[in-house]
Amino acid sequence: MSFALSVLTGLLFAGGLYLMTHRSLTRIIIGFGLLGNGVNLLLLITGGPPGEAPILGRTGELADSLPQALILTSIVIGFALVSFMLALAWRSWTIDGSDDVEDDVEDRRVARAVRRAESDRPRDDDIESMDPPSPQESTS
């Protein structure tokens, strides 16, 4: 059973990462959901073997409840993030009529200006070569 869950976890991670590399917000959101489910399944697998519920008075092999608590927390946080991303995608679709992620023109302009400023600025080794020779160096 754990081999099948491991393969399923790998497939969820691979599918989620593949979908997150697309430019469509819908695919990014679905990929994020798949990745979150993969993490939840990974937590379940690493939680150890199944056992009895840790209730007072029960005997036998008890299950560790920490992974289950982490998975429940992860489900709630993942649902909130997916809901927020769906709201952003809806807003983007109502403004542009498209859910594709566009390149930010302003970011490219700033990056170009930084590269231009760095190429115009003299480097440390250029400054040393521009220093005039000391009187002791000119006499030798």
119-140 confidence digits (pLDDT tens): 876 655 555 555 555 666 555 5
Determine the average pLDDT of the residues in 52-59: 79
Confidence of residue 102 (pLDDT cuts 50, 70, 90): confident
Mean pLDDT of the chain: 84
Distance CA 61, CA 59 (A): 7
Domain map of the chain by residue range? 2-52+64-101
The pLDDT value recorded for residue 124 is 59
Q: What is the CATH number of domain 2-52+64-101?
A: 1.10.287.3510
pTM: 0.68
Confidence of residue 39 (pLDDT cuts 50, 70, 90): very high
What separation in angstroms does the CA of 3 have from each of 9, 48, 49? 10, 14, 13
Which stretch of 21-30, 52-61, 73-82 has the lowest confidence by average pLDDT?
Answer: 52-61
Chain length of the chain: 140
Look at residues 1, 87, 15 and name the one whose alpha carbon lies nearest to residue 44. Answer: 1
Beta-bridge mates of residue 52? 62
Give buried/exposed letters for 10-40 (b at 16+ CB in 10 A, else e). Answer: eebbebbeebeeeeebebbbbbbbbbbbbbb
Determine the average pLDDT of the residues in 29-33: 95
Which stretch of 7-11, 21-25, 119-123 has the lowest confidence by average pLDDT?
Answer: 119-123
Helix (H, G, I), strand (E, B) or coil at 52: strand
Phi/psi for 133 (5° steps) reads -65, 145
Residue 64 and residue 47 in contact, taking contact as beta carbons nearer than 8 Å = yes
DSSP letter at 61 equals -
